[in-house]
């Protein structure tokens, strides 16, 4: 019997929501086959089966949020899990018609002893046991198969004491909203602040919420489409960003003719070698990274009356998930990559993000973001800043159009070039317009003059 548990998808992730099961009780499954999907506060991820066998029980239904390490399902068969080899057992398996709530549960006492003996405790439970100076065998588990849950450990906390203080998610929400924990009454165990407490908190104000008078009612014939988890998180993140940052839009027309010539000369060979087309996005990313080295105040975050300048250039690339949501995977130390390597990395991140194959750590640590609506032929886009960064660059559509070309002797002529617009949304708290304008000018110069062909 193998347990399927809620995975640790990142160092700061304490829980996850099961959004979908791809198999039903009674199904035969193979190790590595996609079993279920998990949503966290940053990403949706498809999780493979840890073993080969028959899915004998689903203990956590789709839509429920549970701690990391919680047992979600069981697989009957000889297998190897992330915890090591598991010997087969012979519990009474449910029939396919049984629901998860009717799945058999082994003796709580016997299961708890086994769990404590082999150390299969979630990171959250282990941390809380340490904070309260408790041993696992002192706590009676009330979870599936006698597993120790966070609430089981918290029941040992002295009255009025907040154990574990704040979860990473709660700390992030407090920071984004500019709130203090002392402002909010926690409804969790022993007064612990939960994510819902922070999200539901309304600061005292003389004015009602701005949207309180604009909540619509569905009319006859209307279709009501509930927000998915990722859509809700995107909406929350974008609204908070507009509330926090002094958004300012600045745009510049860019002459891409030098890039277009390279794409004509080397594009065919590049596609044959790499398996995908050489797009303008790779050139824009490479030029942006070079310019950021000269304008580091845009590779930064705003702290408490201070600007935190990041010396690593971790470039986020916004990826549309087939109109179901938006995520921003990150290329770490992207300035160390060649043009070809940047193109490969962008392609890989986008493909894996759409296939839900990226870990949550792939979305952490970004210092500057590029969004690319250009393939749709957009003219100019005022993107929303990806907090806690201070700027985001939109690379819009590139079109063939007439331009004035100056010769070395000062004469002018009309030529047909590939031209587009780069639109920079920046936080006016961090920099002023002159600094942002010079940054765009520098990107334009790099795009027009860099020896791109030698990098391919």
Q: Is the pLDDT of residue 302 over 60?
A: yes
CATH number of the domain at 232-455, out of 3.30.230.10, 3.30.70.141, 3.30.750.24, 3.30.559.10? 3.30.559.10
Q: Is the pLDDT of residue 12 over 70?
A: no
Q: Is the pLDDT of residue 21 over 50?
A: yes
Whether 432 is a known active-site residue: answer yes
Average pLDDT of span 89-94 = 39
Out of 67, 152, 428, 451, pick the active-site residue. Answer: 428
Question: In sequence order, which residues have a C-beta less than 8 Å from that of residue 63 and are 6 or more positions away?
Answer: 17, 18, 19
Q: What is the pLDDT of residue 445?
A: 97
More confident residue, 272 or 111: 272
Query: Could you tell me the fold of the domain covering 2-154?
Result: OB fold (Dihydrolipoamide Acetyltransferase, E2P) (2.40.50)
Q: How much of the chain is helix, strand and coil, in % rounded to 5?
A: 35, 25, 45
More confident residue, 151 or 299: 299
pTM: 0.63
Q: Break the chain into its structural domains and give their ranges.
A: 2-154, 157-208, 232-455
**How confident is the model over 34-87, as pLDDT tens digits?**
999 888 766 778 888 998 999 999 998 888 888 888 899 999 874 333 344 443
Among 422, 252, 356, 410, which residue's Cα sits nearest to residue 19? 356
- How many whole angstroms separate alpha carbon 89 and alpha carbon 69? 21
Q: What is the pLDDT of residue 161?
A: 44
Q: Is the pLDDT of residue 97 over 60?
A: no
Q: What is the pLDDT of residue 263?
A: 96
Kind and range of the H or E element at 175? helix 168-177
Q: Is the pLDDT of residue 19 over 50?
A: yes
**Band of pLDDT at residue 131, cut at 50, 70 and 90:** low
Give the lowest-confidence range in 63-77, 143-157, 433-447: 143-157
CA–CA distances in Å: residue 365 to residues 131, 300, 304: 28, 11, 19
Q: What is the pLDDT of residue 87?
A: 39
Among 29, 43, 38, which residue's Cα sits nearest to residue 77? 29
Give the lowest-confidence range in 2-11, 52-61, 349-358: 2-11
- How many whole angstroms separate alpha carbon 227 and alpha carbon 156? 38
Q: What is the pLDDT of residue 81?
A: 39
Q: Does residue 6 contact residue 67 with C-beta atoms inside 8 Å?
A: yes
Q: Is the pLDDT of residue 189 over 70?
A: no
Please provide the DSSP assignment of 223-243 as one string. Answer: ---PPPHHHHHHHHHHHHHHH
Q: What is the pLDDT of residue 315?
A: 97
Distance of CA 209 to the CA centre of its chain: 28
Among 100, 97, 78, 105, which residue's Cα sits nearest to residue 89? 78
SS3 at position 67: strand
SS3 at position 20: strand
- How many whole angstroms separate alpha carbon 21 and alpha carbon 47? 10
Q: Is the pLDDT of residue 273 over 90?
A: yes
Q: Is the pLDDT of residue 211 over 60?
A: no
Out of 83, 118, 137, 432, pick the active-site residue. Answer: 432
According to the CATH classification, is domain 157-208 in 3.90.1150.10? no
Q: Is the pLDDT of residue 316 over 80?
A: yes
Q: What is the pLDDT of residue 14?
A: 67
Among 181, 256, 193, which residue's Cα sits nearest to residue 422? 256
């Amino acid at each position: 019997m193998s347990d399927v548990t809620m995975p640790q998808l990142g160092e700061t992730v304490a829980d996850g929501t099961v959004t979908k099961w791809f198999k039903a009780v009674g199904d035969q499954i193979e190790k590595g086959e996609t079993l279920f999907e998990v949503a966290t506060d940053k990403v949706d991820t498809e999780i493979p089966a840890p073993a080969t066998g028959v899915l004998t029980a689903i203990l956590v239904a789709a839509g429920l949020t549970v701690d990391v390490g919680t047992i979600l399902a069981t697989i009957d068969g000889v297998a190897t899990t992330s915890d090591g080899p598991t010997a087969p057992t012979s519990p009474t398996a449910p029939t396919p018609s049984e629901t998860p709530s009717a799945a058999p549960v082994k003796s709580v006492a016997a299961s708890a002893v086994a769990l404590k003996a082999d150390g299969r405790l979630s990171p959250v439970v282990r941390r809380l046991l340490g904070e309260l100076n408790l041993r696992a065998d002192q706590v009676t588990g009330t979870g599936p198969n006698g597993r120790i849950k966070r609430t089981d450990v918290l029941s040992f906390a002295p009255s009025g004491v907040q154990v574990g203080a704040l979860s990473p998610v709660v700390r992030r929400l407090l920071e984004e909203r500019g709130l203090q924990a002392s402002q909010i009454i926690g409804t969790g165990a022993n007064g612990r602040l939960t994510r819902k407490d922070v999200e539901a908190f309304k600061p005292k104000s003389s004015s009602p919420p701005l949207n309180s008078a604009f909540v619509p009612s569905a009319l006859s014939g209307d279709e009501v489409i509930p927000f998915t988890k990722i859509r809700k998180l995107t909406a929350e993140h974008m609204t908070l960003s507009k509330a926090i940052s002094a958004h300012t839009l600045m745009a510049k027309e860019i002459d891409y003719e030098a890039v277009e010539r390279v794409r004509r000369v080397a594009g065919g060979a590049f596609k044959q070698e790499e398996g995908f087309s050489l797009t303008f996005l790779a050139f824009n990313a490479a030029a942006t990274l070079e310019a950021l080295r000269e304008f580091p105040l845009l590779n930064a975050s705003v702290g408490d009356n201070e600007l935190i300048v990041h010396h690593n250039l971790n470039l986020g690339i916004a990826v549309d998930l087939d109109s179901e949501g938006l995520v921003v995977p990150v290329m770490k130390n992207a300035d160390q990559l060649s043009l070809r390597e940047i193109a490969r990395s962008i392609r890989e991140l986008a493909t894996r993000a759409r296939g839900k194959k990226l870990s949550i750590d792939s979305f952490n640590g970004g210092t500057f973001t590029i969004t690319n609506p250009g393939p749709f032929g957009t003219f100019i886009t005022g993107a929303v800043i990806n907090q806690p960064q201070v700027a985001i660059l939109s690379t819009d559509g590139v079109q063939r159009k007439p331009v004035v070309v100056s010769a070395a002797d000062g004469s002018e002529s009309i030529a047909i070039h590939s031209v587009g617009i780069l639109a920079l949304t920046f936080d006016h708290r961090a920099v002023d317009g002159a600094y942002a304008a010079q940054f765009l000018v520098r990107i334009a110069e790099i795009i027009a003059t860099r020896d791109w062909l030698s990098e391919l």
